[in-house]
Amino acid sequence: MKPPHADPDPILDDLTDLDARISALRADIWIGAEPTFTDRYSESAEWLQLALGGEKEGRAAQLLRDFSISFPGCALLRTIGRQYPGEPGARWSLGVLARRDGVALWQGPPDPLLVSEPCAPHGIEHFSLCLLEHCAARGWAAETRVGATDWRVVTRCDEHPIGIDESSAALCFRPSLHSAPIPAEGLRDELAESGHFLLLLATLPDAEGGWPVVELPAVADVASYAALLEVVAEAAKAAGINGLVLRGHPPPLDAGMHWTSLTPDPAVIEANLAPATDLQSFYRVNAALFSAAESLGLYPYRLYYNGGEADSGGGGQLTLGGPTAQSSPFFVAPRLLTRLVRYLNRHPALSYWFAPDSIGSGSQAPRADEGPQERRVELEVALEQLERLDSPEPGLLWASLAPFLADSAGNSHRSEINIEKLWNPYLGARGMAGLVEFRALRMAPDAATLSAEAALLRALIARLMHFPYDKPLVDWGKQLHNRFALPWYLEQDLRAVLADLEAHGLGLGASITARLVDDARRELGHLEWEGLQLRVMGALEFWPLIGDVTTQQPSDSRLVDASTARIELRVVAPEAEGLDGLKLQVNGYAVPLRAEYDGAAPVCLAGVRYRSFVPVHGLHPTLPAQDGVELVLTHPRTGNALRLSLFDWHPRGEAYDGLPDSRAEARRRRAERLVSENVDAQTLPEAREAPAPAYAEYCFDLRRV
């Protein structure tokens, strides 16, 4: 791969060092990503909720063009994408195919996306005759067929003659893949299965430039596919073609090929990146992709008028495996998967710290212990059974754990640890790939942060491959959605994970760690008062699913009640005595502060939940929205009190002048919504006691007063 022009991030040194230490353990761990990008300024449907429509395909084509520059000698392919229930046809898919060794794969006319001049005059019939000649030059049998609007060439990539019998002759005149829906039984190429490869030669409509097109068959092996591309390239050049569209079936892949495709998803363009062999190459590919996307006005995050930050909306999943299915680390080290399940159970930070806004049992990536209570006990039994075996077979690993790594409706795709492509015989070869996907990840804001998350997971897999971990599952109970809803507790848990990696020789380095623990997007404001450091943070909330989960299974999204918000008040003192006597009121109610210590300084914490808006469809139709949250701190050593008023919108109710133009401007708008003032403590009314249900161990719930 050709490196991006921009200066590399300092994180690259730490990634290189970690790669060396993982390599020393002889851990062959490949890692892939599915970055998603949106037009954060657009209010068009395809950038808000729809997968298809508008200018999205054109923007994806531009992104493909710019990204492909990093892969000299690559082939640009416009292949058939996936077709979802209720859609009339397959979605588009635009891809870059290249050899990992750098040898050119395609030396024919470039895709029109890379051509500046108009299409040169050409004849499809002449192109087909050139193709016959170049097939013959390789000793391949080939024949032409004339379709209604195209020419067709049937060939073989071996010394055998064409042997299409009468029953198969009609297959030579099948419609283009791009003009018909995918059959219910799935996409097949029956001619290719018999060793005959059908190439459709046509011309794009004048509105699309009138360029020549070759529709490629389904080829099972990389060598034959590469040979077929060589013949097409030679024939196209001989025919005087200056630009050529390659489309049709997706290409075959092996460990020597790099295949990245761009596809449409609701509100985003998703880049299905080829898995990287190490963190250095992972960073470089993502740096090139993120740079190309930003230059086209496509971003991995959204900024709201009031300064709120969210990811692109498409998630930022990471997938780990090996060069081949059989060499997957989850099969090389059969204890790895059971250790991973135990480890994530005991470290909720890995489920929530990097997660998107929607988390919990109704989310796209629920934890295994967010389902029914009896599931946790049965999961422990399943882990024990697997751990009694020296080397459980891949199919047994999948069958034993798939029922538990699923959402409440049994959908194994919607799980923080997604093993549907580990060794799932019901998905065919696609399901038996030795892959495990980590789904509890929001889309990272930049390539360096995404690479830091990849480093964390790659190091964790290496640690669990080579060192035991058999601690029992924890029944977190109410703590899971209360204690670990507060960022302070999640950060402490994350730091415990980082310390564990360090203790096993897999420390991540300062630059990676800084990216991982960065919590600036959560901060609503910070200030100093009476020698104390205060931060108000956006905390996590677990939005419930509305309606029957099973009826929403086929949908791209699910209906949740997102009207509940949670914040964390964090007060830090240089000495423990500085917090003695500190008291908090929330909207006039007395709220206890929890005393903690983070190893550097004493801390007082409080969580507050409230309803931020009334949804059109949601829970509690009689519950109004909270009109602001008021936090008042008093301290016995001063006659002053500090009043913090948090608003969900501009404090004076003013309209914003457009969306924030940067994340820095978004932070400024968030801070503007937290208004502080010193008041005379003597003038404050006496704090009221709220009803008992409003008080939880880690949080005060304003909805219940």
Q: Characterize 616-647 residue by residue with b for buried, 16 or more Cβ atoms within 10 angstroms of its Cβ, and e for exposed.
A: eebeeeeeeebeebebbbbbeeeeebbebebb
The whole-number pLDDT of residue 624 equals 95
Quick one: pLDDT band at residue 335, thresholds 50, 70, 90? very high
- Asked if residue 5 has pLDDT above 80, the reply is no
pLDDT at residue 456 is higher than 80: yes
Q: Hey, what's the torsion of the CAs at 217, 223, 228, 234, to 10 degrees? A: 160
Token pair 């190439």: residue:
199
pTM for the whole thing? Answer: 0.94
Residues 6+ apart with CB under 8 A from 56: 46, 47, 264, 269
Structure-token pair, residue 146: 């004339």
Reply yes or no on whether the pLDDT at 62 is more than 90: yes
Q: What share of the chain has pLDDT > 70, as a percent?
A: 97
Query: Does residue 554 surpass a pLDDT of 70?
Result: no
649: which DSSP letter?
S
Lowest mean pLDDT among 4-13, 33-42, 47-56: 4-13
State how far the Cα of 57 lies from the Cα of 47, in Å rounded to an integer: 12
Give the single-character DSSP code of 170. G
Instruction: Please determine, for residue 2, whether its predicted confidence score (pLDDT) is greater than 80.
Output: no
Rounded mean pLDDT, 489-498: 98
Q: Which residue has the higher pLDDT, 373 or 191?
A: 191
For residues 589-610, b (16+ Cβ closer than 10 Å) or e, as one string?
bebebbebeeeeebbbbbbbbb
Give the residue carrying structure tokens 């507790």.
Answer: 489
Q: Which residues pair with 629 in a beta bridge?
A: 646
The pLDDT-based confidence of 555 (bands split at 50, 70, 90) is low
Does residue 303 have a pLDDT over 90?
yes
Give pLDDT, residue 606.
98
pLDDT of residue 206: 80
Q: For helices 336-346 and 394-401, what crossing angle results, to 10°?
A: 30
Residue burial 104-121, b: 16+ Cβ < 10 Å; e: rest: ebbebbebbbebeeebee
Percentage above 90 pLDDT, the chain: 84
pLDDT value, residue 98:
98
pLDDT of 424 higher than 80:
yes
Question: Where do the domains of the chain lie?
Answer: 51-265, 286-515, 522-704
- The position carrying tokens 């990204």 is 67
- Is the pLDDT at 549 greater than 80? The verdict is no
- pLDDT band of residue 442 (cuts 50, 70, 90) is very high
Tokens read off for 610: 């409230």
What are the strands, taking DSSP E only, across 134-186? 142-146, 151-155
Distance (Å, rounded) from C-alpha 11 to C-alpha 9? 5
Q: Which of 268, 196, 366 is nearest to 45 (CA)?
A: 268
In the prediction, which pLDDT does 7 show? Answer: 61
Spatial contact of 545 and 362, defined as CB atoms under 8 Å apart: yes
Per the CB < 8 A criterion, the answer to whether 202 and 123 are in contact is: no
pLDDT digits (tens, 9 = 90+) for 649-700: 999 999 999 999 999 999 999 999 999 999 999 899 999 999 999 999 999 9
What is the CA 320 to chain-centroid distance, rounded? Answer: 13
Query: Per-residue pLDDT averaged across 284-307, rounded?
Result: 97
Q: What is the pLDDT of residue 28?
A: 96
User: Is 559 in a helix, a strand, or coil?
Assistant: coil
Comparing 39 with 558, the larger pLDDT belongs to 39
Strand bridging mode 245-248 / 75-80: parallel
Average predicted confidence (pLDDT) for the chain? 94
Distance (Å, whole) CA 358 – CA 375: 22
Q: 26-52 burial, b if ≥16 CB within 10 A, otherwise e?
A: ebbbbbbbbbbbbbbebeeebbeebbe
The two tokens of residue 67 are 């990204």
On the question of pLDDT at 72 being above 60, the answer is: yes
Is 6's pLDDT higher than 90? no
CA dist 429 → 255, 433, 563 (Å):
15, 7, 42
**Averaged pLDDT for residues 623-643:** 93
Tokens representing 301 are 């995050």
- Is 473's pLDDT higher than 70? yes
- Tokens, residue 115: 């051509």
At 534, is the pLDDT very low, low, confident or very high (cuts 50, 70, 90)? very high
| pLDDT at residue 559, as a whole number | 87
